[in-house]
Every structure is written in C-alpha cells, then in structure tokens.
Structure 1
Amino acid sequence: MKPLSPTDQLFLWLEKRQQPMHVGGLQIFSFPDDAPDDYVARLAEQLRSNTEVTAPFDRRLDSRLAQPVWVRDKHLDLEHHVRFEALPTPGRIRELLAFVSAEHSHLMDRERPLWEFHLIEGLGDRQFAVYIKVHHSLVDGISAMKIIQRMLTTAPSKRNMPPLWDVSAQPKPDEDRSGPSLWHSVGHLLEQSGKQLGTVPAVARELLRTINTGRKSPAHQSVFQAPRSILNQKITGSRRFAAQSYCLKRIKAVCKAYRTTVNDVVTAMCASALRTYLMNLDALPDKPLIAMVPVSLRKYERSDCDKAEDNQTGGNHVGVILANLYTDENHAGTRLLKIHQGIQETKDRYALMSPEEIVNYTALTLAPAAFHLLTGMAPKWQTFNVVISNVPGPQKTCYWNGARLEGIYPVSIAMDRLALNMTLTSYNDHIEFGLIGCRRTLPSVQRMLDYLEDGLAELEQGVFN
C-alpha cells in the first residue's frame, strides 16, 4: 500500500467528465525490414501472452482512513487495459490523430488500474502506432517518459522485449518492509509534515523578495496578472490533438546565435504560434500572455538519499516557472531575449531553494490561480493563460521488437479555463510537439503547427539578417 501525496490527490479531485486528468503518449514505428505483413497482429499476440504486471501498472485506487491509497489489484484484467485497434481507411496521420483525440477524451474506470495501452495498425508505409495513457495521479510526465524509454532499446535486432507493464526493474514501491501498513503510512505523513514546516523561513523570504521585485518592475508584475483570453474559457469533453516534429539542429543554431537555451527557443516558438493564432481570431490580448512551465525538481535535490527515494517511489516531482511570453512584442528576436531573461531569473531563485521550498513557494504564488481554476469566480486572479511543458526524451534512435521508433509525441491535459496545453519532448535530433485543446473552445488548433514553424523561421531569419 502507498498513500497518495497531496499533489497526486489533487489530480483525482480535479477530474470530471469534461476534464479527464490523464497524460499520454503517441509513438509511431516502422516495420522491421524483414517483417511480414501481419507483423502487428503477431506483436499483439505476443503482448497478450505476457501477463506479468509490475508497479505502477498493477495498482488501483482504494481508501484507508478516508484517504486515497494505491493497492495492488489482485484481479487485474489485462484485456481491459491492452487493446488492438485498426485505423479506418485510408490510414493517414489525420486518422491516427483523430483516434487519439477521441480516446484522450474518455475517462478511465477508477475501479481498475488507471492506464491503457493501444496497439494501432492500419497506417500506410508499413508503419504502426502505440498510444498510451496513464492517470496523472499515478505518474507525472517525466516519470511516464522514463517508463516508456525502458520499453525501448537501441539494438534493432532485439526481439521478445517485455511490454510497458512489465519493464520495471526497481523494487515495487508499494511493498511495505518496515512494519504494518497503517503505521508506516502515519509515519510517512508525519515525515512530510516536518519537511513542510522546515521550509517556512525560506519560502517567506523568497515570497517577500518576489513581491518587492513586482512593485519595482511592471514586466515582473504582469506574471501575476495574466490577461483574460479565449484560452481561459470553460471547456467541453471533446479534444483535438495535433502533433509535429521540428529539427533540433535548427533550434540549436538559433540558441547559439542568441546565446539562449533550447527551452527558451521552443518557448518563444510557442509564444509566436499563440500570437499568430489569436491575432487571426482577432482575440490577442493587449497585455502579454503568461505560460506556466513545469520543471523537474530532481536537479534541485541536495542528497543522494533524496535521489534514491525518488527512483523507487515515482509519483510527481515538479515545480513551476511562470514565464512572460511577451506576445505584445512584434520582433521575434527581442521576444526571445526577454523570455530568456525572465526564465533565468526564476531559475536563479530556485537554485537557492530545496525541492520542498520550491513546491511551497509555487503553491503560494499559484493559490489565486488555483481558486479561479476550480471555481471560475475570480477572473482577475488569472495567473497564467497556457501550459508549456518540455519533457526529456531519448537522444538516440530507438527500437521496439525490431520496429524503428519514428516519432514520440506527448499528449497532455486541457482543463476548464486552461483550454490548451503545449507539451514537447526531444528524440533523435528532433523536438516533438504535442498540442491538446478543447476543439469547441479553440477551433482548428492544428493550425498552430504551421505557426510554430513560422515562429522558428522568423527567428532563423533574424539570425541571417
């Protein structure tokens, strides 16, 4: 048994029919050169024969003392979680993205482990796809990407590889070796409470520094006063998923010219795409949009013990940067430099804090936004307009049972008053973008893929000039 952290519980609490709280990933593979035409069907049979399920995929929700916990599901029905699908003709990428859009709109059954694995045939050019979705209370995006990478290999000749639900080599995190589960849970809660109390002095200091900086700098103050936007309306349960790859070599060339980071450039690409999209709808606010940018807290851990605990427990270990996107700035290069400066200031502040201090600091600064997201009763407290996430992916060409991985695209979460989520990952010298949005609130989200390309081309043109 493993108790859910407050962050993990929040994802359960936020979930409703029009607001599923699962994250996902779409992978596109090419057949091995020597594979028969029924390769995918044979692969499906191989997957069905592997009935061993390891953590966290063997967990389902339960309750102890009115608190949610993860327990091992002794009656897990693998056929419910592993599904073999076929796309309708003509089997283009358009049909694949429509399939993912529809599946990502559906809630999962909380009486079962909260994950699904879809093996999809019917793509042209001897390709197939895998779509995976996992509830955000079970793993965060970075943890999910690490699990997916353990399913892959860099050896094209390797076969009979274990499936996603049987790849974990770590000890099962819900095994209790320290005594009765009830008292172990109580001790866990007390330990966490002590950590939170210890962060109070540092959090208060940084919060006061932030307030004082905001009084002196209008640009900094705007981070806490995001403008009203169509991005922040209520949503329906229908989703639109769009995905595209962009060459990392092009992005790094811009980084070198402007002396920024890859994350700065992709954030500027998102800013440019949002600016163009909203301008075409005659809906661009006069004030600049603000993005919530999740960051991994693992780099801020101070001890090897913390890292070892993280490796075994999984869960969510993320903090937040609020990034001004400067969508009121006409010049793409100037916009990039301003974004870089704002993000770097927050990183410098976090470098002086522990992960617990960062979590509590961001919780305090985001409290007004949380109240508005939950109730819609405080539109003047709109702290950010959009979520932009960058999840590290595999850096070398990967294979799965001989099939070459051609692309890996993250599928995240849209919420009431956060109708768009822009998530990206890196793979094999490319940056893979996955956009998820409410298709009624934000029409034709797929056009932003072209606007992302235009934003990168505009930065390249600035370098050339």
Structure 2
Amino acid sequence: MAPERLSALDTAFLCLEGDATPMHMGAVATFRPRRDWDADHVAGLLAERAARIPRLRRRVRTGLLPLSSAHWEDDPSFDPARHVAVSSLYDRYAADPLATFAEHWIAEPLDLNRPLWSVQLVTGLPDGDFALLVKFHHALADGMGAVELALALLDDITLPWQRRPADDEPEETSRSPLGAVADTAAALLGQAAESAGIAGSIVTSARPFPLSPTATVNSPSRRIGLVRLPGSDIRTVRTAHGGTTHDVVLAVLAGALREWMINRGQRADARSLRALVPVSLRGRDSRDTGNSLSGYLCDLPVEVDDPVERLRLVREAMARNKEAGPTRGAGALPVLANRLPAGLHRLAAKAAGQAAPLLFDTVVTTVPVPSIPLSLAGARLREVYPFVPLAPHQSVGIAVATYRDGVHVGLQANGHAVSDVGSLADAVTKSMARLQLES
C-alpha cells in the first residue's frame, strides 16, 4: 500500500510549527464522575480506545530534500500510554486553577517524531470533578476532524449523520473516458481562475498601516481564559435582533475586544479588528480527518460603542461572506495553500506566517460539538472549552463551542503581550450582558 501523503495544507501547518508558535489545537473539558471512579482506570480506558484509532497511531515522516513530500506512517514503537498522563491541580489558590494548569500544558509543543496528539487527565477540581485536556496537531486534523477523534475517546454514541443504512452506498455513475478528461480539464481551469482571484484578494486586503494593535513578538508563554455564556442569553438576543448564534458571539467578542483595548490604553476607533473565521469544507460523509477548510475575513467593529449596532454590522459582514461563498476572497487563504505543491510550504510557510498580521488580527473559530449528552467512563461531560493555535505575531486566538445550554469560549493569548487574560475574559461576560440588556 502506498504511504498516505500529507496534503499541502497539512504540510503548511507542520511547517509553521516553532518553539514560540506551536500549531496544535486544544480543548479543556470537565466531567462529573461517579463516586467510585478511579483516575488510572480512566487513563487506561483512554489509551485502550486511542490504540484502536489508526490516525492516532501514525507519525509524520519527512523527506530529506527541501521540496520532498511528507507522509504518514505507523509508529513502530507506538505506546498509547505514553500519550496519556494523569496529574492533579498544583496551584489551587490561583484565580482559576484549571486555567493556570492549562496555560503550562498548552504551551508545550508536541513531539513531532511521535504521533501528534496528547491527553492529560487532571484531578482535584471542585465537587470531585475531573478535567480532560486534549491536544491534536493541526497537521493531523482540522477542527471537525479533531472533534471526531476526541469523540472516539469518549463513551460510545451514535451521531445523527452516522445513522445511515448499511446498504445505502453512493451510486456509481458511468462516464466515458473523454467525458472524464473534459470534466477534469474544466475543473482545473476553474480552480486556476478561483486561485488567481483568492491571491488577488489577499494582496488588496492586506493592511500594512496602521499596524495591527494586536501584533506582537512571538513568545512561547501562554495565558488561558475560560468563559461560559448562557445559551438562553444568546437566544434572547437572536429573537430580538436576528442573526445566527455565531453572529451574536462575534458581536459579543467585538465588544469585549473594544473594552480590552481601551483598558490597555489603545485607541479602539483607529480601525476595526479583522478576524479570520475558519469554515469547514468537509462533507457529512467524509471519512478523512485531515484539513479541509477555508475561511472568511470579518471586520469586528470595535470602533462602535452601541452593542446592537455592532451586531448589525457583524450580521451584514457575515451575510456578504456567505453570499460570496467559502472559496472566494482573501479569507480563502487555506484553499489557496492547499493548491500549492506541498514541498513549497517547506520553503515558504515561515515567511507567509510572518505576514499574517497584515491580513487579519485574530482567529475566531467555532468547534462543532454534538448537542447530545456525552460521557467518559460514565462521567457526564459538563463543559468543553476549545483552543485555536496562535498565528505568528498575534496576541490572542479565540475558539467557541456550544454544548447543551452553554456557549463556551476558549481564549488563548500570547503571555508576553497579554499578562492578564482574565481582563479579556471578564470583558466577554460584560459584553454579553450589555447586548442581552438591549434585547
């Protein structure tokens, strides 16, 4: 069997990896266990389940030449127990002990010579709860793929899109060789034109001046903020003003970033902050967990004080993005990256990463967690806070997950630029309260 090569986009994330720019996604999930639970038993269960997932047994093997491609191979010395650790909260007097623990954990890069994932089971939470901290490298999976891998570590569930009869296979259509060649040629021409359009949009959308207020020196230090927004508040705002849950969250984040900037002595009215909003291109029936994504650029109106007006502007911006489609505009940079030769990323990825602040100021991603009850060894999942990797030279990245009746916001900040991420977390809560008050 031929080795499975990394896609160009998978390779790009691998090449962006650095001591100060680790390219792994993360999540902090809290569980309410039964009284007789045992941490070592749960860790063993996680290792046992991980061993059954082929993707988690593989490591990356790169070629010696600069332009050679990388591929996946089974790790001959794979031991799932080496990827699963048990710890206890060590600073229980911190303002948020779990966030403090997660800061040190998420700052540690994954070992690129081993399968690109890690799980930490953390005990000592209030009320006897425990936390599960999960890291997947972005070369291994995108957000949706990471969710699928994480769900495979939990207790068995059947997701709605998995309920398909066994004999319900896609129908094969017969095509003549000439017709297939014509279709391929048309697709390649269409991709070339589309790629040229994306490249042109990137050039015209770059903002070299004024300098991004969130641009900073890369640092290996990290700060973590965990914010839970009530789902009922989001629904109240949507009923009063319209928009999607994502629109409301983006507007809330715009208000929070505005207050955060003002408190730091920065001008919020100098320009809007631009967010890269990743968009999945994965079909429901896809069996691949690699990267299949694009993105939208959305200007967050931090210069606007009125929370309802901020929501209106965000709604209009996202509506324009959706009308254009996920493979148009500068936000479709991942699509363009995936069409370049994979080997080229080994030469150009670092330089492209340095230019990220010219195109966007932060990343705001939504992680699709199923709304059904989830559990691990019978322990009920209570909260889940996702984290997105920090782009080079950027201060903060934001990830959002909706689970049950809570919208969970994970803030990951550059510790050199943001010493107190708690102030930003508080600003998110205040921004939600202000918008809800106007609804």
TM-score band by shorter chain is: 0.7 to 0.9
Residue of structure 2 in register with 1:269 after alignment:
252
1:282-322: per-residue Cα shift (whole Å, max 9, x none)? 11351111111111123xx6xxxxx54xx222211111111
| Aligned 8 A contact 2:9 2:334 in 1 | no
Whole-angstrom distance in 1 between the partners of 2:84 and 2:54: 16
What is the SS of the residue equivalent to 1:27?
strand
Whole-angstrom distance in 2 between the partners of 1:48 and 1:202: 44
After superposition, the Cα gap between the structure-2 partners of 1:410 and 1:193, relative to the gap in structure 1 and judged at 3 Å, is: farther
Task: State the shift of 1:398 in Å.
Answer: 1.8
Whole-angstrom distance in 1 between the partners of 2:22 and 2:327: 35
Task: State the shift of 1:352 in Å.
Answer: 8.7
What is the SS of the residue equivalent to 1:71?
strand
Task: State the shift of 1:264 in Å.
Answer: 0.6
After superposition, the Cα gap between the structure-2 partners of 1:325 and 1:50, relative to the gap in structure 1 and judged at 3 Å, is: closer
Residue of structure 1 in register with 2:39 after alignment:
40
Q: Is 1:115 the counterpart of 2:99 in the alignment? A: no
Residue of structure 2 in register with 1:319 after alignment:
294
After superposition, the Cα gap between the structure-2 partners of 1:46 and 1:58, relative to the gap in structure 1 and judged at 3 Å, is: closer
Structure 1 unmatched runs, 5+: 156-190, 215-220, 302-306, 365-369
Between 285-294 and 260-269, the greater mean CA deviation after superposition: 285-294
Residue of structure 2 in register with 1:245 after alignment:
228
| Aligned 8 A contact 1:229 1:284 in 2 | no
**TM-score for both structures, normalised by structure 1:** 0.77
Residue of structure 1 in register with 2:175 after alignment:
none
Residue of structure 2 in register with 1:87 after alignment:
89
Task: State the shift of 1:226 in Å.
Answer: 7.4
Give the number of equivalent residue pairs: 399
1:224-280: per-residue Cα shift (whole Å, max 9, x none)? 677423411122101011112111121021112111111111001111111000100
The aligned runs of 1:6-21 (5 Å cut-off) are 6-21=8-23
Which amino acid is 2:231 matched to? L
After superposition, the Cα gap between the structure-2 partners of 1:50 and 1:8, relative to the gap in structure 1 and judged at 3 Å, is: closer
| Aligned-residue RMSD, C-alpha | 3.3
The aligned runs of 1:287-298 (5 Å cut-off) are 287-298=271-282
1:432-464: per-residue Cα shift (whole Å, max 9, x none)? 11000111112211221211111111112222x
After superposition, the Cα gap between the structure-2 partners of 1:72 and 1:425, relative to the gap in structure 1 and judged at 3 Å, is: same
Task: State the shift of 1:197 in Å.
Answer: 4.4
Task: State the shift of 1:107 in Å.
Answer: 1.5
1:370-401: per-residue Cα shift (whole Å, max 9, x none)? 8875346xx9x712111111111121222211
Structure 2 unmatched runs, 5+: 158-182, 340-348
After superposition, the Cα gap between the structure-2 partners of 1:93 and 1:7, relative to the gap in structure 1 and judged at 3 Å, is: farther
Whole-angstrom distance in 2 between the partners of 1:148 and 1:251: 26
* The one of 391, 400, 404 aligned to 2:376: 400
Whole-angstrom distance in 2 between the partners of 1:112 and 1:9: 16
Q: Is 1:348 the counterpart of 2:323 in the alignment? A: yes
Q: Percent identity?
A: 26
The aligned runs of 1:379-398 (5 Å cut-off) are 382-398=358-374
| Aligned 8 A contact 2:308 2:435 in 1 | yes
Whole-angstrom distance in 1 between the partners of 2:184 and 2:385: 34
After superposition, the Cα gap between the structure-2 partners of 1:226 and 1:314, relative to the gap in structure 1 and judged at 3 Å, is: farther
Whole-angstrom distance in 2 between the partners of 1:351 and 1:324: 16
The aligned runs of 1:70-81 (5 Å cut-off) are 70-81=72-83
Which amino acid is 2:247 matched to? D
* The one of 302, 305, 325 aligned to 1:330: 305
Whole-angstrom distance in 1 between the partners of 2:91 and 2:193: 61
Whole-angstrom distance in 1 between the partners of 2:336 and 2:62: 30
Q: Is 1:374 the counterpart of 2:370 in the alignment? A: no
Residue of structure 1 in register with 2:172 after alignment:
none
Which amino acid is 1:344 matched to? A
What is the SS of the residue equivalent to 1:452?
helix
After superposition, the Cα gap between the structure-2 partners of 1:98 and 1:193, relative to the gap in structure 1 and judged at 3 Å, is: farther
Residue of structure 1 in register with 2:179 after alignment:
none
Residue of structure 1 in register with 2:408 after alignment:
432
**TM-score for both structures, normalised by structure 2:** 0.82
| Aligned 8 A contact 2:413 2:421 in 1 | yes
Between 60-69 and 197-206, the greater mean CA deviation after superposition: 197-206
Which amino acid is 1:42 matched to? H
Between 269-278 and 444-453, the greater mean CA deviation after superposition: 444-453
The aligned runs of 1:172-183 (5 Å cut-off) are none
After superposition, the Cα gap between the structure-2 partners of 1:49 and 1:72, relative to the gap in structure 1 and judged at 3 Å, is: closer
